[in-house]
Every structure is written in structure tokens, then in C-alpha cells.
């Protein structure tokens, strides 16, 4: 089966600019996750979608981050305006259900804010 697709792979922007990331999960996977992985740390969940509804966005900095999942399939994550501390790898993952399944991760987008 095709994996989780993410784009772009790399992005360099200046602080205060905006940026958007795209994710296409595995077909049929109801649950989609966006994680932020800062260098030297484990991934931290930003937002979780079940179909096109938000299940958990408790750690999403809502003053600058936003996300949507169109028609329960693709998802975009946006940062506006970006800060230096947003430099990280943004990982998208999907899973079929909330049961005892692992996630399938995309390759991630490495964001550098200068």
C-alpha cells in the first residue's frame, strides 16, 4: 500500500512569514495526526483528526498554528506568523482506528525559520 505522503520535504522561511504543509494519509485511515519533532526531542502531538473532526488539539499553539482536514482525507498544517522556535520536523501520521494499532508516519517536513 502507498505510504503517508508529505510535502514539501524542506522549507526555509524568515520569521514572521507564513508556511503550509500538506499530508495525504493512507487510503481508508480514519485518524490523522500532526506531530512536531524538535531536534533532540521526541515527537509531540499537535493535533489529531478523526475523519474531518478534531479530536485533540490541546498542544496546538492556536494563536499561530491552524490545521484542517479536507473531506476527511488530506490535511494541511499552517503556521502564521512563524517564530524561530518553530524550527522542527513536522510529521504526519495516520492509523485506521483508535485501537491497538501503530501509526504509519510520513517522511516529514523539515522547517527552518531564520
**Which residues are near another protein by CB under 8 A?**
4, 6, 31, 33, 40-45, 48, 55-56, 91, 93, 98-100, 102-108, 110
Looking at the Cβ atoms of 15 and 30, the one nearer to another protein is: 30
Strand partners, 108: none
Q: How far is the CB of 80 from another protein (least distance, A)?
A: 25
Pick the closer one to another protein by CB: 17 or 57: 57
Chain center to CA of 47 = 7
Backbone angles phi, psi at 86, to 5 degrees: -80, -5
Minimum distance from residue 71 beta carbon to another protein (Å): 22
Nearer residue to another protein within complex by CB, 78 or 110: 110
Dihedral sign for Cα atoms in the order 57, 4, 14, 113: positive
What is the distance between the alpha carbons of residues 25 and 75, in angstroms, rounded to a whole number?
8
Q: Cα 1 from chain centroid?
A: 21
**CB 53, min distance to another protein, A:** 12
Q: Among residues 20 and 45, whose Cβ is nearest to another protein?
A: 45
Amino acid at each position: 500500500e502507498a505510504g503517508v505522503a508529505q510535502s514539501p520535504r524542506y522549507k526555509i522561511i524568515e520569521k514572521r512569514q507564513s508556511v503550509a504543509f500538506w499530508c495525504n494519509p493512507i487510503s481508508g485511515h480514519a485518524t490523522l495526526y500532526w506531530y512536531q519533532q524538535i531536534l533532540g526531542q521526541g515527537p509531540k502531538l499537535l493535533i489529531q483528526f478523526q475523519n474531518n473532526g478534531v479530536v485533540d488539539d490541546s498542544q496546538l499553539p492556536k494563536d499561530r498554528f491552524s490545521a484542517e482536514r479536507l473531506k476527511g482525507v488530506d490535511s494541511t498544517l499552517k503556521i502564521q506568523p512563524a517564530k524561530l522556535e518553530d524550527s522542527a520536523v513536522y510529521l504526519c501520521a495516520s492509523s485506521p482506528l483508535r485501537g491497538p494499532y501503530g501509526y504509519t508516519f510520513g517522511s516529514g517536513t523539515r522547517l527552518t525559520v531564520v
